[in-house]
C-alpha cells in the first residue's frame, strides 16, 4: 500500500553520507538502499515521514519533515493552533492502540 | 521453574552486522541494596509477575511469558474503549526466565499491549526487559511523540543502573521505536549500543537465534486485513460519539418541525431513513473503507471513503426503496451529504495506518476541508429549502 504520490519530504545529502547503512536498518518501508557506498532512495512514495532514518544518521545526511500522518491530529492542530500531535491518551479520538 | 537457557553467554560476544562484541567487562560493585528505582514489587502484585530476581542493584521482578485469559480480556477492552490510560505497567527493568549478566536487554514501552506482545514472544528465552515510561502509549506512537525517545532511554538506563546489571553494552530496541531514538546519541551518553530488533515482537526469537540479523521482512511494516479491522472500533467510537448525536438531533428536528408544531411521528417516520443512512455512512467510512483499503481505487483516503460511501448509499437507497416518494431536494441532499460524511470519517483512518505520512495528509486536508465545509453548508441550505418548500413558501 502506498500513499499519495510525490509528497514525501525526504531529502538526501549525498556528500555527507558515508554509506554506513543505519538508515536502511531503521526504515520500516524499505525506502532506502546503499549503492556504491552512498544512500539512494528506492521509492519515495513509500516514505511515511517517520523520521527514523534522519534521527539515526550520525552524519546528518538525511532530512525529512517528521510528523504524524493523522488527519485528526492535523485538524486539531489547525483548530487549536498548536503542534500536531497524535494525542492517543487524552482525547476521545484515539488514533493508535 | 527451569527455563531453557536460550541465550548462551558466548553469543553476545560474536560480531554481528549491527552490533559489535560486547564491550569490556565491568567490575561489579557488590551492593545489594534494593533500589527504589526498580519497579516496585507491590503488595497487589500484578498477575504477570511470578517472582523476583536478585541482582547487584537489587530485586528485579520476574515476569511470566504466558498470556492469561484476563490479559486477553484486557486486550479486548483496551481495543474497544477510548480510555486506555489504565493499561500500563510500571516502567523499569524486568526479568524473563533467568537472565544473567550476559543476557540480552530488550527495550519496550510501559503499555500493556506492547509489553504483553514482547513477553509472549520470549517464551523459552532468558532476557531483561527495559520498559520505558511512554505514558502508557505503544512503542510506535510514543516514538512519534518522542516519549519513547533518546532522553527517556538514557534516563531509564541510568535509573535502573543497567550498566551494573549486565556486563555487555548492547540494548535491543524495537525498530518501530527508531523514530524516537538517535542511536548515536544514546551510545555517546550511556555507552550502550542500540541494535534495532525486528518490527514484530513474534520475530524476536528468530532474530536472536540468527545472531541478531533481521531479515528484510522482519524490518518491513505491513498492514494486513486483520490489523486494519482491529483498529476500526477506534474509528467507529469517536464518530458515533462526536458526530452522530448532532446529526440525529438535526434530522429529527427537520422532520419533526411541521407547520402545525413539532410532531414526533413525523420526526420518526420522515427521519428514520436518514438516521439509517447516517449509520451507513459511518459504517462505510470507519469500517468498510479501512477493511477494504487496498482494493478501493485511488490513493487518497478521502476519495476512497467517498467512493465507498457513495456505493453504499446507492445500494441501500435502492435496496430499501427509501426514496421512492422522496422529493428531489432530499435526494440531492442524500447523495451530497452521506458520501462526504463517509469520506471525512475515512480520512480520519490515516491516523491508524502504518504508511500515511504527514505531507500527504496535509495535502488531502488542504483540498478536502474546503470541500467538506462547502458540502456541509450546501447540505444545510438544501434542508432549509426542503422545509420552505414543505411549508409552501417555495
Ligand atoms: S545513515 Fe546516513 S550516512 Fe549512513 S547510509 Fe544512511 S544516509 Fe548515509
Ligand atoms: S522517514 Fe521513515 S519511512 Fe521515510 S525513509 Fe526515513 S525511515 Fe523510511
**Residue A86: what pLDDT?**
56
Final residue belonging to a domain, choices B222, B240, B271:
B222
CA neighbours within 13 Å on the CB side: how many for A63? 5
More confident residue, A26 or B144: A26
- Do residue B359 and residue A7 have CB atoms under 8 angstroms apart? yes
Q: How far apart are the first and last CA of chain B?
A: 83
Same domain, B217 and B346: no
What does A17-66 look like in DSSP terms, one character per residue? Answer: -----HHHHH-TT--EEEETTEEEES-GGG-----HHHHH-TT--EE---
Same domain, B241 and B373: yes
Same domain, B90 and B130: yes
Polymer length of chain B:
394
- Do residue A56 and residue B136 have CB atoms under 8 angstroms apart? no
Same domain, B59 and B32: yes
**Residue B170: what pLDDT?**
95
Same domain, B218 and B347: no
Same domain, B211 and B235: no
If you measure from the C-alpha of residue B159 to the centroid of ligand 2, how many angstroms do you get, rounded to a whole number? 31
Q: Where are the domains of chain A?
A: 11-95
Strand spans (E) along chain B: 49-55, 58-63, 92-96, 104-109, 127-132, 170-174, 193-197, 257-258, 261-262
How far B179 CA lies from chain A's nearest CA (Å)?
4
**Residue B79: what pLDDT?**
65
Range A15-38 average pLDDT: 93
**Residue B80: what pLDDT?**
61
User: Which of B184, B294, B301 comes nearest A58 by C-beta?
Assistant: B184
> For chain B, which residues score pLDDT lower than 50?
1-44, 82-85
More confident residue, A88 or B13: A88
Q: How far apart are the first and last CA of chain A?
A: 20
Query: Is pLDDT at A8 greater than 60 in this prediction?
Result: yes
Same domain, B217 and B362: no
Same domain, B51 and B113: yes
- CA–CA gap between residue B168 and residue B182 (Å, rounded): 20
Nearest one of A42, A53, A67 to B357, comparing CA atoms: A67
Look at the pTM and tell me if it is higher than 0.90: no
**Residue B169: what pLDDT?**
96
- CA–CA gap between residue B332 and residue B152 (Å, rounded): 55
Same domain, B82 and B180: yes
- The number of angstroms, rounded, from the C-alpha of A82 to the middle of its chain's C-alpha atoms is 20
Same domain, B306 and B269: yes
Write out chain B residues lying below 8 Å of A50, CB-based: 143-144, 178-179, 357
Confidence of residue A11 (pLDDT cuts 50, 70, 90): very high
Residue of B nearest to A22 (CA): B18
Write out chain A residues lying below 8 Å of B362, CB-based: 74
Which residues lie below 8 Å from residue A53, measured CB to CB, with a gap of 6+?
A10, A23, A26, A27, A31, A32, A62, A64
Same domain, B252 and B134: no
Looking at domain A11-95, which of 3.30.70.20, 3.40.720.10, 3.60.130.10, 3.50.50.60 is its CATH number?
A: 3.30.70.20
Q: Convert the pLDDT of each residue in B21-66 to its tens digit.
A: 333 323 223 333 333 344 444 444 577 888 888 888 888 888 888 8
Mind spelling out the 3-state secondary structure of B13-70?
HCCCCCCCCCCCCCCCCCCCCCCCCCCCCCCCCCCCEEEEEEECCEEEEEECCCCCHH
Range A41-63 average pLDDT: 93
Residue of B nearest to A71 (CA): B348
Q: Which of B358, B362, B368, B373 to mutate to test the interface with A (most CBs of A within 10 A)?
A: B358
- CA–CA gap between residue B178 and residue B180 (Å, rounded): 5
Containing structural domain, residue B232: 227-390
Final residue belonging to a domain, choices B190, B222, B254:
B222
Find the CATH number of the domain harbouring B15.
3.40.50.11600
How far A8 CA lies from chain B's nearest CA (Å)?
6
Judged on CB neighbours under 10 Å (0-12, 13-18, 19+), B230 is middle
Same domain, B209 and B306: no
**Residue A57: what pLDDT?**
96
Atom of ligand 1 at shortest range from CA of A19: 5
Final residue belonging to a domain, choices B183, B207, B222:
B222
**B238 inside 8 A of chain A by CB:** yes
Overall domain count for chain B: 2
Beta carbons within 10 angstroms of residue B148's beta carbon: 33
Interface ipTM above 0.90: no
**Residue B33: what pLDDT?**
35
**Residue B24: what pLDDT?**
31
Q: Using CA positions, which residue lies closest to atom 4 of ligand 1?
A: A20
Amino acid at each position: 500500500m502506498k500513499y499519495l504520490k510525490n509528497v514525501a519530504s525526504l531529502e538526501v545529502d549525498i556528500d555527507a553520507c558515508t554509506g554506513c547503512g543505519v538508515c536502511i536498518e531503521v526504515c520500516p518501508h524499505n525506502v532506502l538502499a546503499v549503492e556504491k557506498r552512498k544512500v539512494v532512495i528506492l521509492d519515495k512514495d513509500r516514505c511515511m515521514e517517520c523520521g527514523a532514518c534522519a534521527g539515526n544518521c550520525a552524519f546528518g545526511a538525511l532530512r525529512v519533515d517528521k510528523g504524524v500522518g493523522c488527519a485528526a491530529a492535523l485538524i486539531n492542530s489547525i483548530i487549536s493552533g498548536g503542534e500536531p500531535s497524535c494525542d492517543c491518551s487524552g482525547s476521545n479520538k484515539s488514533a493508535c492502540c | 521453574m527451569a527455563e531453557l537457557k536460550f541465550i548462551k553467554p558466548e553469543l553476545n560476544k560474536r560480531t554481528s552486522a549491527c552490533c559489535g562484541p560486547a564491550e569490556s567487562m565491568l567490575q561489579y560493585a557488590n551492593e545489594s541494596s534494593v533500589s527504589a528505582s526498580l519497579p516496585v514489587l507491590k503488595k497487589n502484585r500484578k498477575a504477570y509477575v511470578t517472582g523476583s530476581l536478585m541482582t547487584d542493584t537489587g530485586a528485579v521482578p520476574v515476569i511470566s511469558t504466558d498470556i492469561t485469559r484476563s490479559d486477553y480480556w484486557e486486550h479486548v477492552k483496551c481495543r474497544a474503549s477510548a480510555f486506555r490510560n489504565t493499561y500500563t505497567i510500571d516502567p523499569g527493568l524486568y526479568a524473563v526466565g533467568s537472565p544473567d549478566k550476559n543476557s540480552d536487554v530488550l527495550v519496550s514501552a510501559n503499555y500493556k499491549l506492547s509489553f504483553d506482545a514482547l513477553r509472549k514472544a520470549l517464551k523459552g528465552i532468558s532476557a531483561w526487559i527495559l520498559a520505558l515510561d511512554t505514558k502508557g502509549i505503544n512503542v510506535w506512537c510514543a516514538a512519534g511523540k518522542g516519549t519513547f525517545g533518546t532522553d527517556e532511554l538514557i534516563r531509564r538506563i541510568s535509573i535502573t543502573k543497567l550498566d551494573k546489571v549486565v556486563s555487555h553494552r548492547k540494548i535491543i530496541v524495537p525498530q518501530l521505536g527508531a523514530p524516537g531514538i538517535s542511536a548515536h546519541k544514546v551510545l555517546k551518553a550511556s555507552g550502550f549500543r542500540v541494535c534495532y530488533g525486528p518490527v514484530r515482537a513474534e520475530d524476536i526469537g528468530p532474530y536472536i537465534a540468527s545472531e541478531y540479523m533481521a531479515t528484510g521482512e522482519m524490518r518491513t511494516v505491513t498492514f494486513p486485513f486483520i490489523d486494519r479491522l482491529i483498529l476500526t472500533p477506534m474509528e467507529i467510537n469517536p464518530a458515533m460519539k462526536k458526530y452522530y448525536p448532532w446529526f440525529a438531533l438535526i434530522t429529527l428536528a427537520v422532520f419533526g418541525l411541521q407547520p402545525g408544531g413539532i410532531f414526533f411521528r413525523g420526526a420518526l417516520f420522515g427521519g428514520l431513513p436518514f438516521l439509517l443512512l447516517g449509520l451507513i455512512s459511518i459504517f462505510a467510512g470507519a469500517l468498510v473503507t479501512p477493511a477494504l483499503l487496498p482494493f478501493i481505487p485511488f490513493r487518497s483516503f478521502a476519495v476512497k471513503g467517498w467512493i465507498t460511501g457513495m456505493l453504499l448509499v446507492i445500494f441501500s437507497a435502492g435496496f430499501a426503496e427509501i426514496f421512492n416518494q422522496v422529493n428531489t431536494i432530499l435526494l440531492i441532499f442524500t447523495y451530497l451529504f452521506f458520501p462526504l460524511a463517509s469520506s471525512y470519517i475515512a480520512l480520519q483512518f490515516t491516523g491508524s495506518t502504518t504508511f500515511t505520512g504527514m505531507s500527504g495528509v496535509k495535502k488531502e486536508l488542504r483540498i478536502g476541508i474546503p470541500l467538506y465545509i462547502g458540502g456541509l453548508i450546501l447540505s444545510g441550505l438544501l434542508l432549509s429549502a426542503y422545509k420552505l418548500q414543505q411549508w409552501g413558501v417555495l
